[in-house]
A and B are shown apart, each in its own frame.
Chain A
Amino acid sequence: MSDARDPRDPAATFAAAGVERQLDNCTYCPKMCRHACPVAGASGHEPWTPQAKMGQLAQLRRGRAAWTPAQADPLWACTGCRQCTTYCEHDNEPGLVLFTGRAQAVARGAGHPELRGYGERFRRRDVRLAAELREQFPDAGPAPLGGIGFWPGCDSVDKGKGDVAAARAVLAAVDEDVTLIAASQVCAGYPLLAAGQPELFAAHARRVGEAVRDLDRVVINCSACLYTMRVQYPAAGVVVPEVVSLVEFLADRVDRLPRPKSRRAVYYHDPCYHARYAGVLEAPRTVLRRLAEVRELSWSGTDTECCGGGGLLPKTNPTTADAMARRRLGEVQAGGGGLVVTSCGTCSFMLRSNAPSGVEAMDLPRAIATLAEIDVEEVSTVASTGDEDDD
């Protein structure tokens, strides 16, 4: 707690009275968000309810539990999806508080065993993906002054199977001159926040900020990148251009999208970081309605249910993360299957890799290209090393 006056200081944040109040509110609450925690829901684990996770953090904070990886384990059972906040009349932010708790755990040597050396692993992966991106798209360049840049996002580059190319094709289809940003970074740094590495995040954010600072506007498909650049960068003191989601960008130009001959039915999965952090709710429906019949899942909009991809859960608890994705698609499967569209590289990867038979999941650019019959140029995808962390 070097400087309690600095709101960006993680220790100060963690010590703040607001955190104390939130921990109390959760500890004594009769679990009013129990049903809305997808981690607790998919696992059935009571210690992973927001109430219990916050309660455990309170115990740690008060010295009633020791800072050990085992005692700090519940802090990692959160994707930061914020669904709990939909039901919180205390205005608590368990996700954000738990992430500050993670930083404390890491600082006290009680970090998650699966995230040892994560900073370095993150860096290596970012370097690798930046290289892959340049290789796939030789015409991609640095962010032009005063222009519009498309920020591809790490999971789309890594596992998107041509989703970046699809995004470019769609942007071209709406007659927009958007430069694919090929910087030294591909990820906006959300994983570092989720890993409890706020200092590394701040340094990364400064580098990304540098890379995009000449742009007039950054268009982003990845929901976590959108939130990170829009909210966390300014909080870390990094000045960024206007940040807009790809789907919002397209919604403003929806008339330019070709109308398909036939309209099939699609489900839309709202990424948490769009729906609950960035208020991106209507835009995807506006876009998809032009191309298809949009069916709502029972948990959608601000009540959307996390795919399991947030908060580094796929690393700290892959079984539960996958179970969350399957749970999310259960309703589609029960309804006879179909296409689920989302607008986030991470969400689409989680849903795609856990889709039961009869259910197909697509990221928005690919879905638009498919539904509107827009040609997407084939790109040579570099064989992934298999381990996304490069460690």
Chain B
Amino acid sequence: MRGEVSERVRRELEGILGPRRVSSEAVDRDVYARDMWPRLLLARRAGDAPAHQPDLIVWPESVREVVAIVKVARAAQVPIVPYGGGSGVCGGVVPVRGGITVDTKRMTTIRSVSADELTCDVDAGLIGERFERELARRGYTFGHFPSSIYCSTVGGWLATRAAGQLSTKYGKVEDRVAGVTLVTGRGEVVETDGPTRALRGPGWTQLVVGSEGTLGIITSARLRVSPAPQLRIMRGYWMPDVATGIEAIRRVMQRGLRPAIVRLYDELDTMINAASHDEVGAPALDEDAFAPSPAPGAGPLPPWPSPDAAVEAGPLARLRALARGGVAGLRREAMGAALGRSRAFNAVLGVAAERVARAGCRMIIGLEGARIRTEVEAALTFAELDAVGGRDLGDEPGLRWLAHRYAVSYKMSPIFADGAFVDTMEVAAGWDRLDELYAAVRAAIGRHAVVMAHFSHAYADGCSIYFTFAGSGGAADDARGHERVYDAIWRDGMEAVARIGGTISHHHGVGLLKAPYMHAEHREAMTIYGALKQTFDPDGIMNPGKMGLDRHA
């Protein structure tokens, strides 16, 4: 946006919103330049200014104002980027062509909760935790509990097809939306809600949900709510190995049972998880279960010069130290060395993991809902887990998980503060290729970083895999060095997904991060997305440069 245009646009917007809800302050432009995409944090850590900033930020309070904003932008051919909680991890809100960033967070009203229809009309800017608490107060739940619930908005969920931790029962957000109100790139309001299934024609709701601001701005939604659960049953299970755990989940899901939570941690994730809770009672973590030194041929171990490491011997004990300290407890050089040699590190883990595998890996499973049915489903579910050789650890591990369900999000800071980086890659596939997908992606990431995974968000026809990886690309302020490693991880990981046949994103969305892989994901079907883009946003002003649309628009 050129200065001259900017000034005119600014004046027009101020005419609509008043001067207080339009900003071009440097401080504001800096903050609205990013979300929680870890790659952006690398540059921030190094002290680099954001590569792309919005020219203006606006805070509308009504659909009418959003319409007016889009009309101004359209007339001036200025890009618009919708902004919810800024909690995305793919750079979806980065204004790659500048323009106007529209913050939706002043639209936060819960308009109605219908007990008869079990629906709720809510504005897009409401933060998840506040939404869920208000529903709880009224005796309902939306059932959507992402680990970002403290900072993400209803609109952001819908824009990215988000998933919550209880999605196995309640579904992903797209399964819970009856309709949305959208201000399109044409500057018009469309409502996709109503009992559309009774009516002929395409299902517009599902064509708009997930569009990450490329078609319009979601300003409110009609969501399906459920009565607040009367009963919740949580369990921990030990599974002989990952494959058995996967099989157990598949059998549960295909028997028509709907646990709310199913999380199967692979060996490393199991270990880190247990260690970070200082859990010593779990059988797999008995010191004696592990050899005191790395297995032959596993390569050199990274040095761990912390006092703890001197006492505790063996790679797994060291990992536990790593987890217990939340990584921050370890000296920076030590971690740098570990992350810089991740291939060897993962190889060691592989060997170590085989040892762990004798004792198994851990599953958290929970059911909730109406009392009687939940009890019956729980009995059937646990019977399936027992049948494959799972061992019931009682409710304590499950309850502890529940109490610390968002804790993982706090682990990000120490890792970045210590000069490394951490990110997650959530992919999914049918059961037929899930094992293969797990192996391929794990190997791809493992070439560059320490990687662990858990299986969650299960369906009758497949499951998602959530990889967490920590890596390093040099000194803390060497943003380019880190970015090289970071980009290589994603390139190899996405390539592995495309090769095996899965989706590149189960619930984090695409943004800038995965835009280059959108064509491999959809191939010719991108034509339809391109046509939708042309339909809803003929001038291409809505969140341009995202989602690999440019070559199809």
Taking Cβ atoms with an 8 Å cutoff, the residues of A that contact B are: 21, 24-36, 41, 43-47, 49, 52, 55-56, 62, 64, 70-71, 73-74, 87-90, 298-299, 319
Residue pair A44, B134 in contact (C-beta under 8 Å): no
Chain B, range 1-59, C-beta contacts under 8 Å to A: 20, 25-28, 30-32, 36, 41, 44-45, 47, 59
Residue pairs across A and B with Cβ atoms less than 8 A apart, 16 shown, are: A27-B45, A28-B41, A30-B36, A30-B409, A35-B127, A35-B129, A35-B150, A35-B151, A46-B105, A47-B30, A49-B151, A56-B31, A62-B47, A64-B47, A88-B410, A319-B20
| B residues in contact with A71, CB < 8 Å | 26-27
If the complex has contacts A35-B128, A35-B130, A36-B150, are A25 and B27 also in contact, measured as CB distance less than 8 A?
no
Residue pair B410, A90 in contact (C-beta under 8 Å): yes
Give the shortest distance, in Å, between A343 (CB) and chain B (any CB).
Answer: 24
Residue pair A31, B36 in contact (C-beta under 8 Å): yes
Residue pair A30, B416 in contact (C-beta under 8 Å): no
| A residues in contact with B416, CB < 8 Å | 24, 27-28
A-B contacts besides A31-B86, A41-B127, A44-B125, 13 pairs, CB < 8 Å = A30-B87, A34-B150, A43-B59, A44-B59, A44-B104, A44-B105, A44-B106, A45-B59, A47-B31, A70-B27, A74-B27, A298-B134, A319-B20
B114 at the interface (CB under 8 A from A): no
| A residues in contact with B27, CB < 8 Å | 47, 56, 70-71, 73-74
- In the complex, which of the residues A31, A43, A70, A298 contacts B150, with contact meaning CB atoms closer than 8 Å? A31
- In the complex, which of the residues A33, A41, A90, A298 contacts B413, with contact meaning CB atoms closer than 8 Å? A90
Give the 8 A-B CB pairs with smallest separation, nearest first.
Answer: A34-B151, A44-B105, A31-B151, A28-B416, A24-B417, A44-B106, A28-B413, A89-B410
Residue pair B125, A32 in contact (C-beta under 8 Å): no
Residue pair A46, B87 in contact (C-beta under 8 Å): no
B406 at the interface (CB under 8 A from A): yes
- In the complex, which of the residues B28, B41, B45 contacts A47, with contact meaning CB atoms closer than 8 Å? B28
Chain A, interface SS category: helix
Residue pair A34, B87 in contact (C-beta under 8 Å): yes
* A100-B412 Cα distance, complex, nearest whole Å: 25
* A319-B196 Cα distance, complex, nearest whole Å: 42
| B residues in contact with A27, CB < 8 Å | 44-45, 413, 416
| B residues in contact with A32, CB < 8 Å | 150-151, 406, 409-410
- In the complex, which of the residues A44, A73, A298 contacts B133, with contact meaning CB atoms closer than 8 Å? A298
Chain B, range 405-436, C-beta contacts under 8 Å to A: 406-407, 409-410, 412-417
If the complex has contacts A34-B127, A35-B150, are A70 and B25 also in contact, measured as CB distance less than 8 A?
yes
* A98-B83 Cα distance, complex, nearest whole Å: 26
- In the complex, which of the residues B25, B87, B105, B415 contacts A31, with contact meaning CB atoms closer than 8 Å? B87
Taking Cβ atoms with an 8 Å cutoff, the residues of B that contact A are: 20, 25-28, 30-32, 36, 41, 44-45, 47, 59, 83, 85-87, 89, 103-106, 108, 125, 127-130, 133-134, 137, 148-151, 406-407, 409-410, 412-417
| B residues in contact with A26, CB < 8 Å | 413
* A44-B137 Cα distance, complex, nearest whole Å: 23
| A residues in contact with B417, CB < 8 Å | 21, 24-25, 28
Give the shortest distance, in Å, between A41 (CB) and chain B (any CB).
Answer: 7
| B residues in contact with A88, CB < 8 Å | 410
- In the complex, which of the residues A24, A30, A52, A62 contacts B31, with contact meaning CB atoms closer than 8 Å? A52
Give the shortest distance, in Å, between A71 (CB) and chain B (any CB).
Answer: 6
| A residues in contact with B148, CB < 8 Å | 30
Give the shortest distance, in Å, between A110 (CB) and chain B (any CB).
Answer: 12
Give the shortest distance, in Å, between B82 (CB) and chain A (any CB).
Answer: 13
Residue pair A30, B151 in contact (C-beta under 8 Å): yes
| B residues in contact with A87, CB < 8 Å | 150
| B residues in contact with A21, CB < 8 Å | 417
If the complex has contacts A34-B151, A35-B127, are A46 and B413 also in contact, measured as CB distance less than 8 A?
no
Give the shortest distance, in Å, between B18 (CB) and chain A (any CB).
Answer: 10
Interface centre among B31, B410, B414 (most CB of A within 10 A): B31
| A residues in contact with B103, CB < 8 Å | 44-46
Residue pair A24, B413 in contact (C-beta under 8 Å): yes
Give the shortest distance, in Å, between B253 (CB) and chain A (any CB).
Answer: 30
Residue pair B86, A46 in contact (C-beta under 8 Å): yes
| B residues in contact with A41, CB < 8 Å | 127, 130
| A residues in contact with B407, CB < 8 Å | 89
| B residues in contact with A30, CB < 8 Å | 36, 87, 89, 148, 151, 409, 412
* A251-B36 Cα distance, complex, nearest whole Å: 47
| B residues in contact with A33, CB < 8 Å | 150
| A residues in contact with B133, CB < 8 Å | 298-299
* A73-B199 Cα distance, complex, nearest whole Å: 52
Give the shortest distance, in Å, between B109 (CB) and chain A (any CB).
Answer: 9
Give the shortest distance, in Å, between B240 (CB) and chain A (any CB).
Answer: 33
* A55-B151 Cα distance, complex, nearest whole Å: 16
| A residues in contact with B26, CB < 8 Å | 70-71
| B residues in contact with A45, CB < 8 Å | 28, 59, 103
* A70-B29 Cα distance, complex, nearest whole Å: 12
| B residues in contact with A90, CB < 8 Å | 410, 413
| B residues in contact with A56, CB < 8 Å | 27, 30-31
Of chain B, the residue at the smallest CB distance from A323 is B106
If the complex has contacts A47-B27, A56-B27, A89-B407, are A25 and B106 also in contact, measured as CB distance less than 8 A?
no
Residue pair B412, A28 in contact (C-beta under 8 Å): yes
| B residues in contact with A31, CB < 8 Å | 36, 85-87, 150-151
Give the shortest distance, in Å, between A325 (CB) and chain B (any CB).
Answer: 16
Give the shortest distance, in Å, between B198 (CB) and chain A (any CB).
Answer: 32
| A residues in contact with B130, CB < 8 Å | 35, 41
* A73-B27 Cα distance, complex, nearest whole Å: 8
* A47-B25 Cα distance, complex, nearest whole Å: 11
Of chain B, the residue at the smallest CB distance from A298 is B137
| A residues in contact with B134, CB < 8 Å | 298
| B residues in contact with A70, CB < 8 Å | 25-27
Give the shortest distance, in Å, between B149 (CB) and chain A (any CB).
Answer: 8
* A45-B103 Cα distance, complex, nearest whole Å: 8
Of chain A, the residue at the smallest CB distance from B110 is A334
Of chain B, the residue at the smallest CB distance from A327 is B108
Residue pair B413, A29 in contact (C-beta under 8 Å): yes
If the complex has contacts A31-B86, A52-B31, A64-B47, are A25 and B150 also in contact, measured as CB distance less than 8 A?
no
Give the shortest distance, in Å, between A87 (CB) and chain B (any CB).
Answer: 6
* A21-B328 Cα distance, complex, nearest whole Å: 11
Give the shortest distance, in Å, between A68 (CB) and chain B (any CB).
Answer: 9
* A89-B150 Cα distance, complex, nearest whole Å: 13
* A27-B83 Cα distance, complex, nearest whole Å: 19
- In the complex, which of the residues B83, B406, B409, B415 contacts A46, with contact meaning CB atoms closer than 8 Å? B83
| B residues in contact with A43, CB < 8 Å | 59, 106
- In the complex, which of the residues B128, B137, B410 contacts A29, with contact meaning CB atoms closer than 8 Å? B410
| A residues in contact with B150, CB < 8 Å | 31-36, 87
* A353-B32 Cα distance, complex, nearest whole Å: 33
Of chain A, the residue at the smallest CB distance from B47 is A64
| A residues in contact with B129, CB < 8 Å | 35
Of chain A, the residue at the smallest CB distance from B106 is A44
* A32-B27 Cα distance, complex, nearest whole Å: 21
| A residues in contact with B83, CB < 8 Å | 46
| B residues in contact with A298, CB < 8 Å | 133-134, 137
* A35-B30 Cα distance, complex, nearest whole Å: 21
* A299-B106 Cα distance, complex, nearest whole Å: 19
